[in-house]
Structure 1
Amino acid sequence: MRTTEHAVIIAGGGPAGMMLAAELALARVDVAVVERRPDHVLVGSRAGGLHARSIELLDQRGVVDRFLAVGQVAQAAMLATTVLDMSDFPTRHPYSLGIWQNEIERIMSAWVAELPVQVYYGSEVTGLTQDDAGVDVELSGGGTLRAQYLVGCDGGRSVVRKAAGIAFPGWEATMSNLIAEVQTTEPPELGVRHDATGVHGLGRLEYEIVDGEVVYKDEGPVRVMLTEQQIGSGEATLDDLKDGLKRVYGTDFGIHSPTWISRFTDATRQAASYRAGRVLLAGDAAHVHYPAGGQGLSLGVGDAVNLGWKLAQVVRGTAPDSLLDTYHDERHPVGARALQHTMAQAALQKRDDRMRSLVDLVSELARMDEPRRRVAGIVSGLDIHYDLGEGHPLLGRRMPDLDLVTADGGAVRVFELLHGARPVVLNLGEPGRLDVAPWSDRVQLVDATYAGEWELPVLGVVAAPAAVVIRPDGHVAWVEDGDGGGAGLPEALTTWFGPPTPV
């Protein structure tokens, strides 16, 4: 049987895999997704929520309204018992979005279906062999695909990661939780409880946020989450869930007819490298952690947007293969910090007498303005700073979504300029003074003005630049202070988008 070839194959069609597929398709790269499910219908709600930076990333691609139409806007980030209100952050989206993973995947799959992406449903990657020119991808059922690059987005038990020989060091589990969607015959005690074991909660799948408070619908499935007294193993059962409810609440509320039941732990691991030759990792294949703070899904989306444009340029031959090394260099520290934060959050969920003292102290600190901004910046992803060298505070940070006036008098938002996932040279000085002609096949030049202050989350107001280079992921790769005549611009464009094309 003849092997089918693609430029890039993605193992796994979850949020990270679909976001990466969309990024590559927007960059006109032949991409295929291998997804074990027969379609993109996810049974049950699973994870829920997107943080502010992920919402911005979707805004950068022009699809955020699809998610906002379904989700619930809320101040949901917490540290100990304190809600980290970020409504004063300088962003169009200073909030979290409550939206279940099955809805996220439904919307993403509809978006990907509009793009030139091939999805191999009902199949799994079972092995790989890579050489200097590409990767042979073995599929369940005996088929084989060939790609220049393979990206493992196939979860915490990633077959791709293991087959590529990438180590997955970290910390073993210290606790486990049961989570499920069920029906009840008795009215459930809705809300959250903490005890010496950990956190427990019951809530309806259908809810609204009213004046910052969760208001549940009167009917429908109930979502249950329990911390187990001892670390569990194996498949979770309905009897496990009933026993846990009786221990915590004194009743099991007559639970029955589960849509799904699962068990997860606070085991925390991160891939030693996000790349092994022509194999790369993103999402849970690269990092697993306790879901406190709701950063997991958003972390994977961030991986995909960082990797997508880099991989596209390498595949298309406009940038060297070494550009892919910057993916690990930039995203591994972001993942490591998220893991550190979730481990701290997990510890703060236990409320014995000694831990309650720490929780009270941390909660008091989190109500202070400076700690609130710092921690909210971490949880929201808005303070991510890639180390791109010394210079202006904007360098390596996400570009603010400014309201610009272009040289011809038109109005445009910065994020609108990124809808096509192309880099932007934004000139805020004299129109026509910057020359990007040798990169015009890859980079768009925009002459514009901006009248307001430049403000970044956590950092505050920064000096207004004369020009910036905005990467497709929305991060700033070059800043010109004052009218420097574009000094350093050719070097920055070559570094990130490849050598110039003769004009």
Structure 2
Amino acid sequence: MADPRQSPRAPPPAGTAPRTSAPGPRPPEVDPPRGLDRPRRGPARTTRHPDPPAGQHPAGERHRRYDHHDVAGARWIDTARQATTYRAGRVLPAGDAAPVYAPVGGQGLNVDAANLGRKLAAVVHGWVGEDILDTYTTERHPVAARLLQNTRAQITLMRPDPQTRALWEMFSDLMDLDDAHRYVADMLADMLADMLADRDAGMDVRYDLGDDHRLVGTLCPDMKLTRERPDPDVVTAVTRSADLLREGRELLLDLVDRAEVRDAAAAWTGRVNTVTARTDRVDVDALLIRPDGCVAWALPTGQDLDATTLVRALGTWFGQPA
């Protein structure tokens, strides 16, 4: 007699429910959280997701939201949103909590944390008042807004439809014009320099620190330095300005061995590293650089020192000496 378990036609034993190989109901599919989607196979496509109703967005009305897309077979975020302010009392967003944008161009790097960190430390230590935290918004918000504009434009040109193809071809023709080419090149150079904290003088994106010198408010480019008075514990007298900023302290660079510059900053020795060194730059005699790489003060070549300007900059960013 055949084993009924081996024959699908055999009746089940008495008192038992019939067996079935049909699958049960499948659980409903749940979309993964946005920004954490795994790559999908299939043709590249662009999908617009509607904005959530007011009040249901995780950041409420304080953010502006746009799209996210499936492009080149992978799904990724393109919400292009930015907090309207980078300070609300004791809340200071940074990273993706401040701006978030598409990953095109690899522009996810920024110096928000470097800009904010030392300011927070100065407030915690009681060196400066809390008002200095407002400069986090005035300095970093415009930079991120411009980056968002750039990434939104790139996403628009990536959409696979005839209208966008026509726009792309027109944009390509415009890039043959010198002025248009220069405008886009300068914009991309500014954003790249901001990401790498490696900005040359003359870039058009800078923080307004209330000083007309063309270097003040820009991110200082990395410089090769030869120390005039090397520390006995330092193996080599040759270093780079970026390495001197790794300690997270303010840096006063005396580039032509001017004792009056060092004397004017002597009271801040506990907070500011003063280094006398030579470099290839010939446009300045001294620079005061914040830990985020921003030039806070500059002394043009051969100009008499107005110590009040240096003392004012030291007091503004690093507090009054003890």
TM-score using structure 2 length = 0.69
Distance 2:319 2:81 in 1: 34
Point out where structure 2 has 5 or more consecutive residues left out of the alignment.
1-35, 40-56, 231-236
Q: Deviations over 1:50-73 (max 9, x none)?
A: xxxxxxxxxxxxxxxxxxxxxxxx
2:278 to 449, 461, 476: 449
Distance 1:275 1:494 in 2: 22
SS of the aligned residue for 1:281 comes to: coil
How big is the shift at 1:490? Answer: 0.3
Distance 1:498 1:45 in 2: 48
How big is the shift at 1:270? Answer: 1.2
Between stretches 472-481 and 430-439, larger displacement belongs to 430-439
Does the 8 Å CA contact 1:365/1:371 hold for their aligned counterparts? Answer: no
Q: Paired residue for 1:499?
A: 320
Say if 2:46 is the partner of 1:170.
no
Does the 8 Å CA contact 2:120/2:133 hold for their aligned counterparts? Answer: yes
How big is the shift at 1:376? Answer: 2.1
Number of residue pairs matched by the alignment: 248
Does the 8 Å CA contact 1:167/1:271 hold for their aligned counterparts? Answer: no
Distance 2:191 2:225 in 1: 29
1:483 to 303, 309, 312: 303
Greater share of residues in strand: 1
Distance 1:452 1:288 in 2: 37
Distance 1:338 1:312 in 2: 28
Does the 8 Å CA contact 2:37/2:76 hold for their aligned counterparts? Answer: no
Does the 8 Å CA contact 2:80/2:148 hold for their aligned counterparts? Answer: yes
Q: Deviations over 1:9-30 (max 9, x none)?
A: xxxxxxxxxxxxxxxxxxxxxx
How big is the shift at 1:172? Answer: 3.5
2:146 to 337, 351, 369: 337
Distance 1:413 1:45 in 2: 41
Does the 8 Å CA contact 1:169/1:270 hold for their aligned counterparts? Answer: yes
Say if 2:245 is the partner of 1:424.
no
Q: How does 1:86-125 map to 2 (within 5 A)?
A: none
In 2 relative to 1, CA 405–499 (structure 1 residues): closer, same or farther, beyond 3 Å?
Answer: same
Q: Paired residue for 1:386?
A: 207
Q: Paired residue for 2:136?
A: 327
Q: Paired residue for 1:433?
A: 260
How big is the shift at 1:486? Answer: 4.3
Larger radius of gyration: 2
How big is the shift at 1:336? Answer: 0.9
Distance 2:173 2:292 in 1: 36
2:171 to 362, 370, 383: 362
Does the 8 Å CA contact 1:167/1:272 hold for their aligned counterparts? Answer: no
Aligned residue type for 2:221: P
How big is the shift at 1:331? Answer: 0.9
In 2 relative to 1, CA 45–406 (structure 1 residues): closer, same or farther, beyond 3 Å?
Answer: farther
Does the 8 Å CA contact 2:216/2:297 hold for their aligned counterparts? Answer: yes
Does the 8 Å CA contact 1:283/1:303 hold for their aligned counterparts? Answer: yes
Distance 1:264 1:373 in 2: 26
Q: Paired residue for 1:16?
A: none
Distance 2:96 2:281 in 1: 39
Q: Paired residue for 1:130?
A: none
1:465 to 256, 263, 284: 284
Distance 1:378 1:361 in 2: 24
SS of the aligned residue for 1:404 comes to: strand
Distance 1:379 1:444 in 2: 28
Does the 8 Å CA contact 1:469/1:479 hold for their aligned counterparts? Answer: yes
1:271 to 83, 90, 101: 83
By relative contact order (CA 8 Å, sep 6+), the higher-ranking structure is 1
Q: How does 1:48-87 map to 2 (within 5 A)?
A: none
Distance 2:245 2:100 in 1: 30
How big is the shift at 1:177? Answer: 2.5
Point out where structure 1 has 5 or more consecutive residues left out of the alignment.
1-42, 47-156, 179-198, 201-223, 226-262, 454-463
Greater share of residues in helix: 2
1:312 to 108, 113, 121: 121
Aligned residue type for 1:496: W
SS of the aligned residue for 1:401 comes to: coil
How big is the shift at 1:344? Answer: 0.8
In 2 relative to 1, CA 45–491 (structure 1 residues): closer, same or farther, beyond 3 Å?
Answer: farther
How big is the shift at 1:363? Answer: 3.2
- CA RMSD of the aligned region, Å? 2.6
Distance 2:166 2:66 in 1: 26
Q: Paired residue for 1:107?
A: none
SS of the aligned residue for 2:260 comes to: coil
Aligned residue type for 1:377: A
Does the 8 Å CA contact 2:254/2:276 hold for their aligned counterparts? Answer: yes
Distance 2:94 2:81 in 1: 13
Aligned residue type for 1:289: Y
How big is the shift at 1:379? Answer: 3.8
Does the 8 Å CA contact 2:286/2:299 hold for their aligned counterparts? Answer: yes
Aligned residue type for 2:215: L
Q: Deviations over 1:433-452 (max 9, x none)?
A: 21212111100111122234
Q: How does 1:217-296 map to 2 (within 5 A)?
A: 224-225=73-74, 263-295=75-107
Q: Deviations over 1:278-307 (max 9, x none)?
A: 111011111222332232x313xx111111
Q: How does 1:388-403 map to 2 (within 5 A)?
A: 388-403=209-224
SS of the aligned residue for 2:276 comes to: strand
Distance 2:116 2:225 in 1: 28
Q: Paired residue for 1:406?
A: 227
